[in-house]
Structure 1
Amino acid sequence: MEILISIVAKVAELLVVPIKRQIGYVLDCNTNIQNLKNEVEKLTDAKTRMIHSIEEARRNGEEIEAEVLNWLGSVDGVIEGGGGVVGDESSKKCFMGLCPDLKIRYRLGKAAKKELTVIVDLQEKGKFDGVSYRPAPSGIGPVKDYEAFESRNSVLNDIVDALKDGDVNMVGVYGMGGVGKTTLVKKVAEQVKEGRLFDEVVLAGVSQTPDIRRVQGEIADGLGLRLDAETDRGRASQLYERLKKVTRVLVILDDIWKELKLEDVGIPSGSDHEGCKILMSSRNEYVLCREMGANRNFPIQVLPEREAWNFFEKMVGVTVKNPSVQPVAAQVAKGCAGLPILLATVARALKNKDLYAWKDALKQLTRFDKDEIDKRVYSCLELSYNALRGDEIKPLFLLCGLFPTHDTSISDLLRCGIGLDLFKGRSTLEEARNRLHTLVDELKASCLLLEGDNDGSVKMHDVVQSFAISVASRDHHVLTVADEFKRNGQPMMCFNSTLQSLCLSGKFLIFLQY
């Protein structure tokens, strides 16, 4: 009997509940439609708020989550469907308006109930933790207008090989201002990214007066990291922890002038994180090897004459094909001393210009007029000159620039240096010689002086020498008399009331002190 009652109850449940639900569509039609209308309005408001959040995120350069965009697309369809249900059909009557149309009420009541369930569910799904995210940093990106100089390719490959070496964690690149160090390290970054040697590659400019917060910020931007700590130490800790999480990361520090404490920035190195490698560029080899502790250093030389001419010719275009312009153009290109920055600047300035403009440019290069020839090159050299440390090294640099011969012997520098009392506190010839060699090594490390063509000699790039003469004339009232001003084969001597020194073109250098 109990089993029978149980069966009857189950059958009744299966029959009564659906029947009750179907009747409810008719009886609760207006209520369902009103509830649907209310929820449609709520969903419309939620959509508007979401659109505002999306617009704000896009203004901040953020990307919108895919699920948010999919939700918006679903909302549009649901609102449109709910709006179709909410209408005046429920008020339609049959029998000349005397009775409600039960068929229409059933259909609308059922549709409203169904849409209501969908809308409530969609409202719940629209409660996102966040609508957007910061896109992955684009990184350093391709190097624009990169010129693949043959003389640079071997250096580029050597740097990449050094970065692959498990025993090397710090690599340095050095060369004089304007020689193309920044362009080269950016090309290294591009190449190691393409070769997937590192998971992350970031670059920060350091400069002569380092701003730790700016350096930290540039590295953080490259990593897509938001630094929100108030102090430099706190930001360094955030950066350190973020870099430690990257298995293989290359940090490029461009344009280093003096020691930069990596822990102050937040860069792990050595045993702290063997997967973190550092590539640095500087004008001074000593800064890289002595102060920063680079394992390998690579010099960047000026372009060979033929390569410099090919680059210059390419930049200028058809103008150099003119037979009257070509000889002057060759001298102008040579006057740029193989510096890519100067070659490119002068070439752009002389493109499609007449012969007189070329001759004028050649004269300017000869005089190294900083107001007329590329100020960036002069600025680069002046920064390197000002960075020389000590009271002896700057006068020695200027002295080297005043020698008229291409190669200057160390013995001539020693004699003139002793005569000018450059080596303070050195009482013997050996002490003075030792000091001179030390200073010469520092000038070479700063890329302001080169090894000479002969044993026991040094030389300067033409542009560097012109800069040295300019500074000597400006700051020390040194007058140089060039070959073109000789009279009867003898140099002319010019004096004025402020003259402190006089440089004569010939075998000897004469200083007149006043």
Structure 2
Amino acid sequence: MADLPFKPVEKVIDIVLEASIRQIDYIVNYKDHEEELKELIKTLESNKKTVDEQVQVAKDNAEEITPVAQDWLKRVERKMEESKEFHDDKMLESKTSCFSGGCSFLWNRRQLGRKAKKILAPTIKQLNQETPDILANISHPPAVTFADSNPLDGDYLEFESRKGIIEKILEQLKDSTVRMVGLHGPSGVGKTSLVKQIAKQAGDSKLFDKVVMAIVTKDPDLLKVQQDIADGLRLTFGNEGENGRATLLRKRLKQENTLVILDDLWDELDFNKIGILFDDDDAVSSHVTSNERNDSGSKKEGEEKMAIENSPSTTRRGCKILVTSRYKEVLRGKINVKEKLIFSVPELDVKDTLTLFKKVVGMSNEIPKFKPETLKNYCAGLPMAVIIVGRSLMHKSESEWEGELERLKNQQGSNEVQKYMENHVKMGYDHLESEELKSIFLVCAQMYHQSLIVELVKYCYGLGILNDVHTLRGARQSISQSIQMLKDSGLLDSTSNDHFSMHDIVRDAALSIACKNQNVFTLRNKTLDVWPHKEQLERYSAIYLHKCHIVDGLPERVNCPHQSLSSPL
């Protein structure tokens, strides 16, 4: 009991003694603390160099650096800046040497020793320990937006005649009871550009968490459709087959509010097989029957809509579908889109036709010498037709425009757009600068939609189309230049460095040219009941069959002495 009053005093003495020893340690063992810190800094510099190299590799691969890696690099920069004075040995020696004069060296040793041991060393040691985790999580693939994977062709031109339809479709997509909306119109009317703009506005307004798009085409490749949707969702497939992929897509699509755009539908499509499933938990069933399309059910639909919107359990997770097709009957009869949710892409009016034409040819606001109605009637209000005409005339004078359009006006009736377009593609084809470029263009027409440029290189090199080219490297360079020239002529599209595409209007015209001018036997998406007669086959320079059903199989023997290419793509 007698010792109790001394307990607090002893504790204070211990604290003071411990602090004094620590201060003395900073002074006496200053050199050891300095050397230990320098070793830690050396290790940190090496670790930073390794991380910097990996960061550069990630950036070169267009990957995004993780926030944790960025934060680590910032903290390293700060500590490297704070430890700068420990890199200057002469300065340290002048400050801490006992021969520097006076007793200031003791204070300097204390300050530097304390900074080295207490302030810098622990944090730098921690940064070094974090390095393996940083290297393991340095980057991730970039977040691919809809605009990245589905870029608009140049600056989107907003047509006054189409503002209304965009607003109507967006309004329907906002409706919680609407699950599927359809859009139809002929080839070249601009369905794809329109849905891309709708997708952009839906994404900008946060109407959907994700917007993804897949091109279906006449003969759908379901694996590719699944892959396109997965890419937009940043979902990675493993070795799953079609059914396994569908299961993963169903699970993924339930996690967020997603708009799925299926472009260029030609026939019935099994959404469930792809992985787009309308569960019983969803607000609206995917199986829309003719009775449900009947207007007499509108009252019931209104009640259901109100009940869903007022239900606290309803979420915005799941997906809605926007489908495009050339034919209304595909939307209505094949995939059961409700009549009131099917929209037609209107043709361009005279004003919008002229606006687009001026943009293509680089014309300012002056009044054209030709009648805009002539251009509109000739192109039938199809943007693709306007673009083809504009690109074919852009290097000619305005006086030539007037004469050319008048000639076209008097040539045929305005309803035969396909023949008109064939004439204009033929015009662009005739103006290509060499026979080599013409041959490359016709080979492009015989390939897939979104074909690989490397495949085009193989075909053209193997067929001997490329003049004075003797290596694959030279072939790649020649094809790259040719693709650019075809793009400049409006005959080819290219949205990446790896692929090229050709609009259906241009492709059909090109195959017609190949058939007439080069004796090419062409057939696309049809049934081949009977092979051409022996004498006809002998005249063909190439045979092009694209996704055709051959009833009797291939002939046992084909004698085609002029044939250079047989293309059953």
Contact 1:207 1:254 in 2 (8 A): yes
Q: 1:376 to 1:33 in 2, by over 3 A?
A: farther
Q: Residue 140 of structure 1 corresponds to which residue in structure 2? A: 147
Asked if 1:219 corresponds to 2:229, the answer is yes
The answer (yes or no) to whether the contact 1:251–1:278 under 8 Å persists in 2 is yes
Q: Is the 8 A contact 2:350 2:373 kept in 1?
A: no
- Check if 1:251 corresponds to 2:260: yes
> Residue 125 of structure 1: CA displacement?
5.3
Q: For residue 443 of structure 1, what is the aligned residue in structure 2?
A: none
Contact 1:177–1:377 at 8 Å: present in 2 too?
no
Distance 1:82 1:376 in 2: 72
Matching of residue 42 in structure 1 with residue 43 in structure 2: yes
Over the aligned positions, Cα root-mean-square deviation in angstroms equals: 4.1
| Equivalent position of 1:286 in the other structure | 329
Pick closer, same or farther for the CA change 1:225–1:377 going to 2, 3 Å. farther
2:344 to 282, 299, 324: 299
Distance in 2, Cα, partners of 1:376 & 1:271:
55
Q: Higher mean Cα deviation, 304-313 or 264-273?
A: 304-313
Cα deviation, residue 226, structure 1: 3.2
Give, as a single letter, the amino acid of the residue that structure 2 aligns with 1:170.
M
- Residues 283-327 of structure 1 deviation map (CA, whole Å, 9 limit, x = unaligned): 12232222222223222343355654565466553799565xx25
Stretches of structure 1 that go unaligned for 5 or more consecutive residues are 384-462, 475-497, 499-514
- Give the Å deviation of 1:340: 1.6
Inter-partner Cα distance in structure 1 for 2:203 and 2:143: 14
SS at match of 2:235: coil
Match of 2:117 among 113, 120, 138: 113
The 8 Å contact of residues 170 and 293 in structure 1, kept in 2 or not, is answered as no
Task: Work out the percentage of aligned pairs sharing the same amino acid.
Answer: 33
Aligned to 1:33: 34
Contact 1:332 1:362 in 2 (8 A): no
| Secondary structure of 2:322's aligned partner | strand
- 1:271 corresponds in structure 2 to 280
Q: 1:32 to 1:151 in 2, by over 3 A?
A: closer
Aligned match of 1:239: 249
* 1:111 partner amino acid: K
Find the counterpart in structure 2 of residue 486 from structure 1. Answer: none
| Distance change >3 Å, CA 7–CA 16, structure 1 → 2 | same
Deviations 1:256-292 (A, max 9, x none): 1222322232223363644421010011223222222
Match of 1:374 among 425, 430, 453: 425
Q: 2:377 aligns with which of 305, 330, 334?
A: 334
Shifted more, 299-308 versus 232-241: the winner is 299-308
The residue number in structure 2 matching 1:130 is 137
| Higher mean displacement: 205-214 or 354-363 | 354-363
Deviates more, 1:258-267 or 1:149-158: 149-158
For 1:460-479, what aligned pairs fall within 5 Å after superposition?
Answer: none
Asked whether 1:16 is paired with 2:17, we answer yes
What letter is aligned with 1:303? L
Instruction: Report how many residues are paired.
Output: 385
AA aligned opposite 2:278: S
SS at match of 1:271: coil
Question: Are the counterparts in 1 of residues 264 and 324 from structure 2 also a CA contact under 8 Å?
Answer: yes
- Equivalent in the alignment of 1:482: none
How far the C-alpha of 1:85 sits from its partner, in A, is 2.7
Partner-residue secondary structure (3-state), 2:321: strand
Q: Once the 2 structures are TM-superposed, how far is the Cα of residue 242 of structure 1 from its aligned partner? A: 1.6
Distance 1:307 1:108 in 2: 75
User: Structure 1 residue 260 and structure 2 residue 269: aligned?
Assistant: yes
CA deviations on 1:307-352 (whole Å, 9 max, x unpaired) are 54565466553799565xx25x754542222222112221232236
Per-residue deviation, residues 56-77 of structure 1 (Å, max 9, x unmatched): 3222323323443333233223
Matched position secondary structure for 1:178 = coil
Structure 2 SS opposite 1:20: helix
The question of 1:205 aligning with 2:205 is answered no
Alignment deviations for residues 472-496 of structure 1 (CA, whole Å, 9 cap, x no partner): x97xxxxxxxxxxxxxxxxxxxxxx
Q: TM-score, structure 2 length as denominator?
A: 0.58
Q: CA deviation at 1:93?
A: 4.9
Instruction: Give 5+ residue unaligned stretches, structure 2.
Output: 284-317, 413-418, 430-440, 446-504, 517-535, 537-569
Q: Which amino acid aligns with 1:117?
A: P
Give the C-alpha shift of residue 251 in structure 1. 0.7
Map residues 321-360 of structure 1 onto 2, 5 A cutoff: 321=367, 323=369, 326=370, 330-351=373-394, 353-354=396-397, 355-356=399-400, 358-360=402-404
* C-alpha distance in structure 2 between counterparts of 1:4 and 1:204, whole Å: 84
Contact 2:392 2:427 in 1 (8 A): no
